[in-house]
Structures are given as structure tokens and as C-alpha cells.
Structure 1
Amino acid sequence: MIKLIVGLGNPGKNYQEHRHNAGFWFVESLASIKDSKFTSQSKFLGETTSVAFGSTKVFLLKPQTFMNNSGGSIKSFLSYYDISPEETLVVHDELDLPIGAVKIKLAGGHGGHNGLRDTIKALNSKDFYRLRIGIAHPGSKDDVVDYVLNAPGKSELSSIEQGMSNAMSIINLLVNGNFEDAMKALHT
């Protein structure tokens, strides 16, 4: 079962529309659908809220430490609530997926994603679930930083929003531990 859903992104108005904030967009949409509001929690270096899936309460977290330092926020939250990495879903932008494609996976490396790199280091574990939101690759690795730190075009954004909507439809399965069914529904 999933007890915590973390959206990765960069805090502040200057970053909110950037591709790198796809994780924030997802948890913000989920909170909005569930009529829940984020509040700042300094002990977690982030903004948090909780939502209900039936009788199951799930926390949402947006680290406010910038992407490259997300791990400390996640670690403090997991420690405080005694949640294991395996009960955590980290939502992030993914260069290695086409725009709008959404995939779930358990464990693995960071694939060059600094938010994941810092999370793996802070938790001393790779064993957490990832919801990967495709933003596509700009082509050259030299263009990656500029690409992720800019807003997608209208058609790109529409595809990303459609992918997130598809992921919303299986979030209940994920929360309740039906990972195989969730993966099948999302990946086919």
C-alpha cells in the first residue's frame, strides 16, 4: 500500500510552469480533485496535505528544497510517520519517455534525474515506487537543463495533462497495493 505520494519539483512562482515540475503538477491536481489544500510544514521542509481513498489516508508532499535536495524532505517525512520507502510513490518528470507517456516502476537507478539521485542517497534505498511522467528528451544532453527549466508548449502541456489524467484513473489501485493491475491499466 502507498502511504505517501511525493511530487518532485522546484518551489516558487519562477518554476511552477517548468517541465521539471510535473511531479508538483500531479500532486496538486490530486489534492484539488480531493478538495484538499497544501500547507507549509517546516519540519518536513515542504508543503503537505492528506487525501482519502475510501478509508485509506494518503499523505501528499511537495519538498520545498529545490529538486536537487528533495531527499532530506522525504526522509524527514518518512521518519516522522514511520513510513517505509516501499510505501512511497515519487512522481517526477521523465526525459526517457515520450511526452505524455506515464509509467510506474518499483526501484531502479536515478537515470540522471537529480531529484531521484538525492532521494536515493537520503533514503539509502532505491526501493520506492516511481510514477514517471514523460516530457521527452530535447535531443542533446547539453540542452537538458534549459529544456527542463522551461515551460512546455500548448500541445506538449495538453499531452502531459492527458497522461496525468490517465495516471489519476489508476491511483486508487496503487494506493491499495494493486500494483500489477495498476501497471496493466496504465501501460496498455
Structure 2
Amino acid sequence: MLVVGLGNPGLTYEATRHNVGHWAVADLADRYGSSFSLNSRMKAEVATINRPEAKYVLAKPTTFMNNSGEAVGALARFHKVGPADIIVVHDELDLDPSRLRLKLGGGDNGHNGLKSIRAHLGTGDFYRVRVGIGRAPGRMPSADWVLAKLRPKELDELRVDAAVAADAVEYLVQHGLADAQNRFNS
């Protein structure tokens, strides 16, 4: 199972809404004592977890969000993983904060990271764990909203959401999509 957490590289973007996917896969790695190492050929930081139910390859692309597909495509080819064995964790503007949704397939809904992955895989038929970040207030452009530095309280709340997303990934692998949706979709 390839589990990809979307985000942007570097300290400039670390505490932004766009990096919730990175936090979720980092949480999974921490739970099992695995650490990430840079694989420049795959354009990602990669960690592995071997569990009785599945082997997880965890990835945080080192490309910017809009080019996430470069890493996902390279990792999928290298590990011989098809779209049905890929889970992407990402931020979702159309869900309020503290809401989570799991699904298989679907459009990219204007999310450039998903658009890039779809282009590199040739399909959108991969699993998504969508972590709500809500819409920008007022007339703030969406790009400014997802890349804005979070206040400490917002950061703490979104890190909790990332941990719940990590729970959802594990549950999805162990129990399937329908059961995971019943448990986590809010």
C-alpha cells in the first residue's frame, strides 16, 4: 500500500493548511518507529512500515504541491503499485475544519496536487482521505488561504485532524472503504 501525504517542502510551508497530508503520514511513521529518508530519484521522503495486514510505503513528495504526481508516479512504478493500492491524504477546501471524508476516485475539485497525480497515473481511481480546512474568509484567494501560516491554536487543531486522518488510513487498509467511511466520514 502506497500512502502519500500531500504538502509543500521546506520550513516556509511547514505550518500551513496545505501540509496536513505530510503530517498524517509522519504520524503513521512515528506510531511504528519508522523514519523518513530522502529518495531524490523518487522525489520524495520515504518510510516503510511492515504490519501483519499490509506493508505501507509512506511518502511525502519533495516537489511542490502542483507537481505531486511526479513523486506518486515514480513511487507507484518503482513499487509496482496500482491506483487501487494508493491512498492520498490531502487538504480539502470544501470540508469544514475537523471534518474528514474518504472516497475512491472522483475529480480533483480544483486541487492541483490531485490534478498532477491524476495526470501521472493516467487515472483518478485512487483512494483519498480528505481533511477539511474550510474555505478562505471573505474574498481571500484560496491559494493564500492554504499557504497562510496557522496560528498556534489552529495548528494544534489541524494536527489533531492529521492524526485522525492517519487513523482513517489504517482503518481503510484493515476494514475496507465502506466500513472506513461509516466510521470516519463526517
TM-score (ref. length: structure 1): 0.92
Identity fraction in percent: 37
Give unpaired runs (5+ residues) of structure 2: none
1:64 to 36, 52, 62: 62
Report the alpha carbon displacement of residue 179 of structure 1 after superposing the two structures with TM: 1.3
Give unpaired runs (5+ residues) of structure 1: none
1:110 to 108, 111, 117: 108
Q: Equivalent residue for 2:24?
A: 26
Q: Equivalent residue for 2:92?
A: 94
Report the alpha carbon displacement of residue 83 of structure 1 after superposing the two structures with TM: 0.3
Q: Equivalent residue for 1:148?
A: 146
In structure 2, what is the Cα distance between the partners aligned to 1:106 and 1:55?
20
CA-atom RMSD, angstroms?
Answer: 1.6
Q: Equivalent residue for 1:35?
A: 33
Aligned length: 186
Report the alpha carbon displacement of residue 141 of structure 1 after superposing the two structures with TM: 6.2
In structure 1, what is the Cα distance between the partners aligned to 2:112 and 2:27?
23
In structure 2, what is the Cα distance between the partners aligned to 1:142 and 1:169?
32
Q: Equivalent residue for 2:8?
A: 10
In structure 2, what is the Cα distance between the partners aligned to 1:167 and 1:42?
26
Q: Equivalent residue for 2:172?
A: 174
Change (3 A) 1:124 1:27: same
SS at match of 2:141: helix
Task: Pick which of 149-158 and 13-22 moved more.
Answer: 149-158
Report the alpha carbon displacement of residue 173 of structure 1 after superposing the two structures with TM: 2.5
In structure 2, what is the Cα distance between the partners aligned to 1:54 and 1:170?
17
**Given that residues 17 and 147 in structure 2 are in contact (C-alpha distance below 8 angstroms), is that contact kept between their aligned partners in structure 1?**
yes
SS at match of 2:41: helix
Task: Pick which of 168-177 and 25-34 moved more.
Answer: 168-177
